[in-house]
Every structure is written in C-alpha cells, then in structure tokens.
Structure 1
Amino acid sequence: MPAATRKTIAIVDDDRNLRESLQDLLETEGFESYLYASAEEFLAQFGSQPVDCILADVRMTGMSGIDMLRILRAKPDCPPVLIMTSYADTRMEDRALSGGAMAFLAKPLASRDLIACVRKAVT
C-alpha cells in the first residue's frame, strides 16, 4: 500500500513487547502505527498525529483503556477504538461496547481476527 494511502493505527498498551509485536504485525499488513505506553501519553498527543483507528488495552498503569475510551468518545473527531484485554469477562466487554468501542478482543489476540477488526474499523 503506498505510504500516502496507508491507514494509521495507534497502539496503546503498557506492555512494550506487545506494542512492538502488534506494530510488526500491522506493518506486515500494510498499516502504519504509532506506539503509546499509556492512555495518558496518547491523550496528551491526541490530534498531533492523525490516526484512523486506536487499539487500546484495558488494564494499564494509570488510566484504563475504558476510561480513555470515555474521554475520546466525547470528542467529535474520535476514530474507531478497539479494546483488548487479558482479563476478558462479559461485564468488561459490555462496558467497552456500551462505551463506544467498535470491538472487544481477548488476549492472546488471534492475528487473523485482529487484522479483520482493524480493516473493518478503517474502511
């Protein structure tokens, strides 16, 4: 995909290894990505770099991905948000989806499912 038409994904997770692994996966699928170690870091830079989709963990040091989602959804220019977690349960899934998440993904992430969700989010 030419760089000018590549979609950009923000990856927000406090696990550096996972962030970098997701970046590698997304780049092999033709996406660009920006990495953020916390919800606070992402929110502080929101709007400075255009993103087409946000992939965020629920449990992070500091603000949770669900709390970040609530803040983002109040903004008129919020891109689609995909929430991921290792601690999936129906209550958390309900909170994420009712809060405006486009998808709720359980870790470990299945690469095929993740890419399908990202593609759906950016089209």
Structure 2
Amino acid sequence: MNKKALICVVDDDALLRNSLSNLLRAAGHEVACFESAESFLDSEESDRCDCVVSDIHMPGLSGIDLVERVAEMSDAPKVILITGHPEESWRERAMYSGTAGFLRKPIEAQSLLDIVQRSVDA
C-alpha cells in the first residue's frame, strides 16, 4: 500500500467507532469516524474515502441506505457492513446492494482487516 487509505467508520455506537478506528489506524490506515450515515455523506471525507465500514442498524439512514447512496457517487468507495442483528434477510439485502463485505458483531479483527485491504486494493 503506497498511500495511506482513508477508511471511514460509520456507527452510532461510540465505543465501537473508537475500537474500529484504533484497529484500522494500527494497520496503517487513515481513519475518519462518523456517528451517522448522514454526517458521513455531508462530510468532505465522503469524496475522498477509499472504503466505508458501517453498521446496518442506525437511527436515520441505515447501512443499506448508505450503500445505495454511496453507489451513486463518482468513484464510489467500497462499503463493508457490520451488524449485531444477523437476520438472513439483511445479509441478502446487503449483498444484493453491492457491499464489499458483511460481518457480524463481535467482529473478528483479522476478517475486517482482510476485507478492508481487498476493498482498498480493488
């Protein structure tokens, strides 16, 4: 990886945002955190983000909604969705929406890092 990839973490849970941020920074990525899909979409980082890691279940726009909005962007980043509510219908909808990955909480650190790296390298 020549340049540091910008990974945007979108989750309404501050503890999880912090944990994911620390993990991704330790792996050599630049990280920006957002408490909602709306705050991410309204940010300058949304235009230069290489990969998004987002919770599915959030107030306001869901992670699936975010995937659909991001897909409309020019040079759209890959989106990885995470959830603590692993209903199969959500997984199917997420994969149909074009997510780069779908992980269940608690998240296995290496699995997340592998999917992020594949997304950044794609």
Identify whether the pair has TM-score above 0.5, normalized to the shorter chain: yes
- Give the direction of change, closer, same or farther, for the CA distance of 1:43–1:90 in structure 2 (3 Å limit): same
Which residue type is aligned with residue 33 of structure 1? V
Which residue type is aligned with residue 82 of structure 1? I
Which residue type is aligned with residue 75 of structure 1? M
Give the structure 2 partner of residue 98 of structure 1.
96
Deviations, residues 6-59 of structure 1 (Å, cap 9, x unaligned): 111000000011101101011111111000000010111155651110001000
Distance in 2, matches of 1:49 and 1:77, equals 8
Give the structure 2 partner of residue 81 of structure 1.
79
- Give the direction of change, closer, same or farther, for the CA distance of 1:61–1:48 in structure 2 (3 Å limit): closer
Question: Which of 68, 71, 75 is the matching residue for 1:70?
Answer: 68
Aligned-pair CA distance for 1:75: 2.1
Structure 1 residue runs of 4 or more that deviate by more than 2 Å after TM superposition = 46-49
Number of aligned residues: 121
Gaps of 5+ in 1: none
Distance in 2, matches of 1:90 and 1:16, equals 26
- Match of 1:5, SS state, is coil
RMSD: 1.5
Give the structure 2 partner of residue 117 of structure 1.
115
Distance in 1, matches of 2:58 and 2:46, equals 22
Greater CA drift, 42-51 or 90-99? 42-51
Identity of aligned residues (%): 36
Which residue type is aligned with residue 94 of structure 1? E
Relative to the length of structure 1, the TM-score reads 0.92
Aligned-pair CA distance for 1:77: 1.8
Gaps of 5+ in 2: none
Give the structure 2 partner of residue 54 of structure 1.
52
